[in-house]
Amino acid sequence: MKGPVAIFGADGYIGWALAIHLGVTTDETIILVDNFATRRLVASVYSDSLVPIESMYERLRAYREQFGKDNLVFVPADARDIDQVDRIIAEYKPQSVVHLAQQRSAPFSMIDQEHALYTQLSNIATNLNILFSISRHVPGAHLLKMGSMGEYGTPGIEIKEGDIELDLKGRKARVMFPRNGGSWYHLSKIFDTFNVLLANKIFNIRATDVMQGVVYGTKVDEMVDDKLNTRFDFDSIWGTVINKYVVQAVILNELLIYGKGRQKRGFLSLYDSVNCLSLLLEHPPKEGEYRVVNQLDEIYDTVQLAEKVLSIAGEFGIRPKIRSIDNPRVESEDHYYAVEHKILPELGFRRKKDIDTILREMFEAVISNRHRAEKMKHLIYPTVDWKQGKNKSSKFFKIPYDLMKVQTKEEILPFATELTVHEPLTRERE
């Protein structure tokens, strides 16, 4: 990895963790780009990070104090805007661009028509803007785009890493592995994948398309001070399944299993997500190459995960029950699931910590912040039903309407200095 790295979406769960990891482990300039939409969208469903997180300026101050380095540069910008993205790429000339600047929640996209529109318009716009700016200003740069294993759905055959060969009536063709997303969010990621593929074809963009599994955990090695914490979402809209289970164990004393609980997915820790992304940056594809990487570590179904959480919960004197509830999603609940993932192990990926060790870290974080979760206890239960999201606008959850339009630098800057989140929102659903 040579030259500046731009991270779009650097205030997020993975974005911030990756930013400080790259900042500490390299001497390159790391350009952090964000408009703080995630903080505001989480607040719009009356939720908050369980672990207190600081404003961007406080985070950067803590980073300088802890590591004595000044190589993290924050640029407030809305990646949905053509000119804002173009100025950043033109000015800093990043040789690597990490694209994480998207609405990342499937349940959020399923709330109603407004949330579906916001998700797809925002996600597709940010991706296209980055692609075009790279092609104009740094055509040899490496784009590392975050996709999702959810793009594939559950096809009932092994999910290949890259293209597959079809044989039809004696003729053969190589095609991208089929996509079959199950939410408006996942469909936006599929659109992004095909847009990156087209940009590679017509602009010769060098790209790694990361199909990432479900990420869990609260920290990475560089978070040596509480002011360097990344966010940890646990509610039914923004939380990922393992993160949710640990909070449910502590707060509800029960684990809520959707349907049969045999839904299988690929998982990896936050440590490993950051390490994988770093490896891919250190080992870019060839110039003009489009590379698909399936990024996961282990495969579990949700009952297996619940059993792991139960085992570790007992070490903390917590003995929750398992309770099956109606599945608010539309998905297969008992299916075959296998994934080819060769590229990262070949590049040297090795698991940082086993799942039990990370679960212990998570229980410690949740127990120490229990008072915050208690104030948002009602948000742990499912609040979005896939089949009920037909309305134009939800009467419970409203998108901040100023986020429906592109934000200017002047509109974003106050959130960089003032959005220090210490006490959770307590407003009940109306």
Dist CA 339 CA 299 (whole Å): 9
Residue 30 lies in a domain: yes
Half-sphere exposure of 71 (CA within 13 A, CB side): 19
Residue 386 is encoded by which pair of tokens? Answer: 């896939």
Compute CA distances 356 → 18, 215, 311, 359, whole Å: 23, 14, 9, 5
3-class SS at 142? Answer: strand
Task: Choose among 192, 190, 158, 160: nearest CA to 175.
Answer: 160
Residue 393 lies in a domain: no
CATH number of the domain where residue 123 is located: 3.40.50.720
- Inside any domain, residue 427: no
Rounded CA-CA distance 416/382 in Å is 31
Position 1 scores a pLDDT of: 81
**What is residue 125's predicted lDDT score, i.e. its pLDDT?**
98
Instruction: Give me the half-sphere count of Cα atoms (radius 13 Å) on the Cβ side of residue 146.
Output: 29
- Digit-coded pLDDT (tens) for 330-367: 999 999 999 999 999 999 999 999 999 999 999 999 99
pLDDT of residue 264: 98
Render pLDDT for 25-48 as a digit per residue (tens, 0 to 9).
Answer: 999 999 999 999 999 999 999 999
Distance CA 170, CA 263 (A): 36
Residue 261 domain flag: yes
Residue 344 sits in which domain range? 5-384+411-418
**Which residues of the chain are modeled with pLDDT < 70?**
418-430
DSSP structure string for 143-165: EEEEEEGGGT---SSPBPSSEEE
- The helix (run of H) or strand (run of E) holding residue 52 is none
pLDDT at 74: 97
Distance CA 250, CA 326 (A): 22
Residue 419's pLDDT is 52
Residue 102 inside a domain? The answer is yes
Determine phi and psi for 176, rounding to 5 degrees: -65, 145
The C-alpha atoms of residue 429 and residue 49 are separated, in whole angstroms, by: 18
In a domain, 430, yes or no: no
Is 394 within the bounds of a domain? no
CA neighbours closer than 13 Å in the CB half-sphere of residue 192: 37
Q: Is 166 helix (H, G, I), strand (E, B) or coil?
A: strand
Query: Is residue 271 in a domain?
Result: yes
Count of domains observed in the chain:
1
Residue of 135, 284, 130 whose CA lies nearest to 210: 284
pLDDT of residue 322: 98
